[in-house]
Amino acid sequence: MTHQTFKSANSFETHSPQASDINARRASHPAADPSAILIRMPELIAIVGLARPTIYKLMRQADSEFPLPVKLSGSKARGAPVAWVLDEVQSWVRARISARNKVAA
């Protein structure tokens, strides 16, 4: 059974009685924790706004503190699957935002 809630003049929002239970379970699921979410290159590019070559260049520069990828397989071949930890990427972005307000000494 679903319930309709008046949302605006022209629309209704449909809720099931268990919607809050489902949302609570989703929020407590390990995948809801950014430190447990791995993202691949397309998502990384979208988050940091940099091109793939620039990302790999930053990873080679120790002073950039760009997060290193996690290997997803035992392969040592070039092009082996890797991913980045979402929380580490978000922390790097936040550090870049903080750094913009600092005056170079």
pLDDT digits (tens, 9 = 90+) for 39-94: 999 999 999 999 999 999 999 999 999 999 999 999 988 889 999 999 999 999 99
In Å, how far are 10, 12, 21, 28, 74 from 6, measured between CA atoms? 9, 5, 21, 29, 53
pLDDT digits (tens, 9 = 90+) for 2-38: 554 444 454 444 454 466 666 666 566 666 788 889 9
What pLDDT is stored for residue 12 in this prediction? 47
What pLDDT is stored for residue 104 in this prediction? 58
**Dist CA 44 CA 37 (whole Å):** 12
What pLDDT is stored for residue 36 in this prediction? 87
Query: Letter for the amino acid at 91?
Result: S
What pLDDT is stored for residue 79 in this prediction? 87
